Amino acid sequence: MSNILEMINITKRFPGVVALDRVSLKVKAGSVHALMGENGAGKSTLMKCLFGIYSMDEGKIIFDGKEVSFANSKQALENGVSMVHQELNQVRQRNVMDNIWLGRYPKKGIFIDEKKMYEDTAAIFKSLDINIDPRRKVSSLSVSEMQMVEIAKAVSYDSKVIVMDEPTSSLTEKEVAHLFKIIRTLKSKNVAIIYISHKMEEILKISDEVTIMRDGQYIATKSAKDLTTDEIIKLMVGRDLSQRFPPKVNQPGDVILKVKNLTAEMQPSFKDINFELRKGEILGIAGLVGSKRTEVVEALFGLRAIQSGTIELHGKEVINHSPQQAIKNGFALVTEERRSTGIFPGLSISFNSIIANLPQYRKGIFLSESQVYDDTKWVIDSMKVKTPSQKTAIGTLSGGNQQKVIIGRWLLTKPDVLLLDEPTRGIDVGAKFEIYQLINQLASEGKGIIMISSEMPELLGVTDRILVMSNGRAAGIVETKTTSQEEIMRLAALY
């Protein structure tokens, strides 16, 4: 197979940091080329240089035999390069087919040809075996369905290269299998896939070649069949990482949180949820997409109205009608969707660190600059955030570094109950280990932690007990030490 894409000695500088230092990448037509590295390694920056989002300072790009330098993403798309971003950028109040054909609607005279747009969308969906009504509003879709729409949009451009950034971060095993089927179909049509992921098992299963980056530099390109998980990790982090999960040091104590018959039925949601959380305990929540795991923690945090049931903290009933009340009552929530509900992308790390705890910094009508500086420094240092300064816009950081800032933000509120919805989504193995250590440490200090995760090994490696959700109901609570993936999946499919 010949190379459809060559990126040669790409260099990109930002104020105070060299994000890419003479990085090269060669991708064959009709292949899946994995791009791996820790957060901050430069993977997304390299792809943004390809896609016209960033202009490179040095180097050149050869695409389909010609040297190119796309001025913007529109040029890249029109020339056969598509990118499915990790953070989904969709117009959620418009329907699916509007999102796919936005800016290039089929016309009948001066009017948009709705019939053709529907038929073209349906045809793409059929070819990819995607079962979504093109007229559905995007805001009504699950995260996994939004992901499939983005992939269909990339295919609609007849792209020769499609970049997929963490495409399976919100997908179930069944949906991952469907995605891999789509990828194999695209390969058979000679489309090249650049696949960014931190999931080792997926990389080894779907990839032909793997390129590894570290600290903005090219490290190696190897055939996937010649690699093992341990070898990839060593190349990524520059050291052996023999343990994926730190040893558990927390000792669960007395019950601090009781949830009794919690029900939210304004739309099909959850019903009669009962569980207890102990001081120093890490309680996992497992379940398939659509099991209403996120809805439960949103209700605890005051983001979702409760029809019936009670929440007791330290033996007293608490009512969280809003996130403000929840924070005051000792709850904190790290949301699943970082870009849409977690960060203020154009504002500084400092602002994003203190925003949940703003009243603590008031000094008359002003904020205490020294306290703001000290707390932001604590977030950067304790979370090991890679950034040139506190004033750097958080949107310019890698996804993993953004997530670290968000977790640090909520720790500044000193919560009794920390709610984590997919806390390591899109984070590399080294950073995951650091966050696992942090979760463990917080639990050992007496915090109660509730953690949603779609990664079964993560739940089994970090938690003390696991609440399994199935179609809006609590299917059971299992002890992590004595359960198995098979038992959890059986409960998850109970209702």
Are 127 and 261 part of one and the same domain?
no
The stretch 221-228 carries a mean pLDDT of 92
pLDDT in tens, 136-162: 999 898 877 888 898 899 889 989 999
Q: Does one domain contain both 370 and 459?
A: yes
Using the 3D structure, point to which of 178, 211, 237 is the last residue of a domain. 237
Judged by average pLDDT, the poorest of 42-46, 201-205, 243-247, 341-345 is 243-247
**pTM for the model:** 0.62
Q: Is residue 378 part of a domain?
A: yes
Question: How distant is the alpha carbon of residue 423 from its chain centre?
Answer: 8
Return the percentage of the chain with pLDDT > 70, whole number: 97
Lowest-confidence pick of 225-234, 271-280, 389-398: 225-234
- Number of domains forming the structure of the chain: 2
Q: Identify which of 226, 222, 203, 194 has the alpha carbon closest to the alpha carbon of residue 30.
A: 194
Same domain, 124 and 233: yes
Does some domain include residue 246? no
Q: Would 478 be classed as within a structural domain?
A: yes
231 and 312 in a single domain? The answer is no
- Convert the pLDDT of each residue in 337-386 to its tens digit: 777 788 898 999 999 999 988 888 888 788 888 899 999 999 999 888 88
Residue that is last in its domain, among 237, 264, 294: 237
Amino acid 71: pLDDT = 92
Q: Do 299 and 429 fall into the same domain?
A: yes
Task: List C-alpha distances in Å: 164 to 4, 145, 399.
Answer: 16, 15, 15
Q: Is residue 336 part of a domain?
A: yes
Instruction: Name which of 107-111, 172-176, 279-283 the model is least confident about.
Output: 172-176
420 belongs to a structural domain: yes
Domain of 310? 255-492
Lowest-confidence range among 158-172, 181-195, 255-269, 342-356? 158-172
At 236, the pLDDT band (50, 70, 90 cuts) reads confident
Question: What contacts 64, CB < 8 A, 6 or more positions away?
Answer: 4, 5, 80, 160
Domain co-membership, 214 together with 259: no
Q: Pick the residue with more confidence: 361 or 426?
A: 361
Q: Please check whether residue 245 lies inside any domain of the structure.
A: no
For residue 128, what pLDDT band results from cuts at 50, 70 and 90?
Answer: confident
Supply the pLDDT for residue 239.
59
Least confident interval from 88-102, 409-423, 448-462: 88-102
pLDDT of residue 200: 81
pLDDT class of 69 with cuts at 50, 70, 90 = very high
Alpha carbon of 368 to those of 169, 254, 324, 407, 411: distances in Å? 39, 37, 22, 22, 19
217 and 339 belong to one structural domain: no
pLDDT of residue 268: 67
Query: For position 226, which CATH number holds?
Result: 3.40.50.300
Q: Give the closest residue to 224 by CA, choosing from 50, 31, 41, 83.
A: 31
Co-location of 161 and 299 in the same domain:
no
Whether the predicted pLDDT of 240 surpasses 70: no
Residue-wise burial string across 32-53, b where 16 or more C-beta atoms lie within 10 A, e elsewhere: bbbbbbbbbbbbbbbbbbbbbb
pLDDT at 170: 66
Burial (CB < 10 A; 0-12, 13-18, 19+), residue 477, is middle
Q: Which residue has the higher pLDDT, 172 or 215?
A: 215
Q: What is the mean pLDDT of residues 406-414?
A: 91
Same domain for 142 and 284 = no
Whether 350 and 205 map to the same domain: the answer is: no
What pLDDT score does 416 carry? 94
Q: Percentage of the chain with pLDDT > 90?
A: 56
Res 444 pLDDT > 70: yes
Cβ(470)–Cβ(287) below 8 Å = yes
pLDDT value at position 177?
87
| Pairing between β-strand 465-470 and β-strand 366-367 as defined by DSSP bridges | unpaired
- Answer whether residue 38 shows pLDDT above 80: no
Nearest to 289 by CA among 196, 172, 177, 391: 172
Write down the mean pLDDT value for the chain: 89
Cβ atoms within 10 Å of 337's Cβ, excluding its own = 16
The torsion of the CA quartet 386, 349, 409, 301, rounded to 10 degrees, works out to -120
352 in the same domain as 217:
no
Q: For 222-238, what is the mean pLDDT?
A: 85
123 & 7 share domain: yes
- Choosing from 237, 264, 290, the residue where a domain stops is 237
Which helix (H) or strand (E) segment is 67 a member of?
strand 66-68
